[in-house]
Amino acid sequence: MSYDSVMARKAEILRASTGIDYPGLALGRLAFDTESLMARVGYDLPEVRAVQLRAGVGDTPLRELHNLTGLVREHAEPGKGARILVKDEAANPSGSFKDRRACLSAHHARRAGFAGLVAATSGNYGAAVAAQAAANNMKAIIIQEAFDSRGLAQPEILEKARKCEALGAEVMQTTVGPELFYVLLRTLEETGYFNASLYTPFSIAGIETLGAEIARQTRALTGRDPDMVLATHAGGGMVTGTARGLRAAGAHNTVVTGVSVSLEGLHMASDRDFNRKSFTTGHTGFSVPFTTWPDRVDVPRNAARPLRYLDRFVLVTQGEVFYTTELLARLEGLERGPAGNTSLAAALVLARELDSHQTVVVSETEYSGAGKSPAAQLAFAARQGIDIGFGPSEEDRPGTAIRVPRRLDELGVREVDLASLRASYLRRAAAELGSNVGDEAGFLAEDSRSSLSEVHAAMAGGDRHD
């Protein structure tokens, strides 16, 4: 059971714990059949929806934020200020959209004869796995990267651990670093449980119903497709599943916009930096690496492929999300957690770009709790030496200073250059393949949403994006 021995058995452990023959999907060293991977789910979109509805998952309300829309229009040019709608995923059993992911995994695992589920996550997904395991009379083990070397954990992480345990799961907590994946593999092998990974096709197919519901409900409310859907972006599952669902429902012209909290300068595997951030997900420490190389996950191939689906990618600051959380509670009477409010913070800015007859949809809300509140997070940050104060977003410095805006017009977004991310993806592929791209060029072009000429230029070392 040494680290090296367990890692050497990784492929067989993952195959036994997912039931997916990942090598059989390979079309080359990097290329694989993405749609065949998704077909391993074995359920089409209506069947997934039926599974979820039987479990009380999905079909959540689409709420129009009248007061926030009015506030945005006060700060917009005449005729500008799109209607802001939010998909209230906090209405799901465990309080987030992650129930959609966990529901299908639990349903499939039970049918396949697994006695329990294992998931490696620090967040809401653990609570969703615990809830769905309980509903299916299965065991659940949640492995949570929780502490730095001083034994300190953020209040949001501790709140999520409490939620998992309240729903009957066993929670195993680790320190930051490579220990998490080793503990996951060892636990899967020892228990024989199903790997309810965030990155399997079961997880992504579960989110497709969210995109389809957004399209259907927006049409019913406004008579037209949403003009923009904002999805908080971390590992790519929300973006991928929502976009696929929108397309399946015929909403092909909706602009899919990923939103992350800027934590630039902080390293997610750093013991020092681990607690110098106030967000455990939906930040650039996950979103940028996963966008440029999605297969850095706990299964051989990630079913989430964000570059295929992102039309736009913007960043907000930690302080802007805290401000938005308070604004939503005070103006709309909705106390919700930070994950969905990351996208809402961007919506308050981007809605000003659009005409008043257009519609912006925030793809999720999440439940709130004592550890998720701005007061708890800011107090913890202050104890780590972070300078807390009021001010515009330009003064926010990840790991050093958090600036909470005083007014709506102090909010902004920073554009992420998707062309640069695509170039980074292709450079990484070139490092793996050299100049011998062969039949894999088509896959790389599709996966990065690039042209074949751009792929060949990157393979030859002449990337035109740089």
Closest among 174, 176, 442 to 184, alpha carbons compared: 174
Closest among 402, 408, 378, 373 to 390, alpha carbons compared: 402
Mean of pLDDT over the chain: 95
Q: Are strands 116-120 and 387-390 parallel, antiparallel or unpaired?
A: unpaired
Backbone angles phi, psi at 435, to 5 degrees: -85, -5
Predicted pLDDT of residue 425: 96
**Residue 373 sits in a domain of what CATH number?**
3.40.50.1100
* Single residue among 174, 201, 228 that ends a domain in this structure: 201
Q: 297 with 280, same domain?
A: yes
Backbone angles phi, psi at 283, to 5 degrees: -125, 170
Q: 71 with 156, same domain?
A: no
* Single residue among 166, 201, 236 that ends a domain in this structure: 201
pLDDT tens sequence across 98-118: 999 999 999 999 999 999 999
* Single residue among 180, 201, 222 that ends a domain in this structure: 201
pLDDT tens sequence across 397-443: 999 999 999 999 999 999 999 999 999 999 999 999 987 888 899 99
Give domain status of residue 465, yes or no. no
- Intervals of the chain under pLDDT 50: 463-466
Q: 21 with 85, same domain?
A: no
Residue 363's Cβ-count burial label (10 Å; 0-12, 13-18, 19+) is: buried
Q: 109 with 146, same domain?
A: yes
Give domain status of residue 466, yes or no. no
Give domain status of residue 383, yes or no. yes
Give domain status of residue 464, yes or no. no
Task: Count the helix, strand and coil residues of the chain and give each as a percent rounded to the nearest 5.
Answer: 50, 15, 35
Bridge partners, 387 (sequence order): 401
| Separation CA 146–CA 161 (nearest Å) | 9
Predicted pLDDT of residue 434: 83
State the Rg of the chain over Cα.
21
Residue 93 DSSP class: T
Predicted pLDDT of residue 463: 43
Which 3 state secondary structure label does DSSP give 357?
coil
Give domain status of residue 315, yes or no. yes
Is the Cβ–Cβ distance between 125 and 157 less than 8 Å?
Answer: no
Predicted pLDDT of residue 466: 35
Residues spanned by the domain of 220:
58-92+209-415
Give domain status of residue 345, yes or no. yes
Phi-psi sector, 345: left (phi>0), alpha (psi -120 to 50), beta: alpha
Tokens representing residue 172 in the block: 């195993």
Domain count across the chain:
3
Q: 14 with 69, same domain?
A: no
Q: 183 with 103, same domain?
A: yes
| C-alpha distance from residue 294 to each of 64, 120, 277, 344 (Å) | 34, 17, 23, 25
pLDDT tens sequence across 122-170: 789 999 999 999 999 999 999 999 999 999 999 999 999 999 999 999 9
Q: 295 with 169, same domain?
A: no
Longest dimension (CA), the chain: 66
Q: How far apart are the first and last CA of the chain?
A: 45
Q: 76 with 102, same domain?
A: no
Q: 450 with 349, same domain?
A: no
Give domain status of residue 110, yes or no. yes
Q: 291 with 187, same domain?
A: no
Give domain status of residue 358, yes or no. yes
Q: 137 with 237, same domain?
A: no
Q: 286 with 246, same domain?
A: yes
Which DSSP string corresponds to 64-85?
E-HHHHHHHHHTS-TTB--EEE
Phi-psi sector, 42: left (phi>0), alpha (psi -120 to 50), beta: left
Predicted pLDDT of residue 205: 97
Predicted pLDDT of residue 178: 76
Is the Cβ–Cβ distance between 454 and 465 less than 8 Å?
Answer: yes
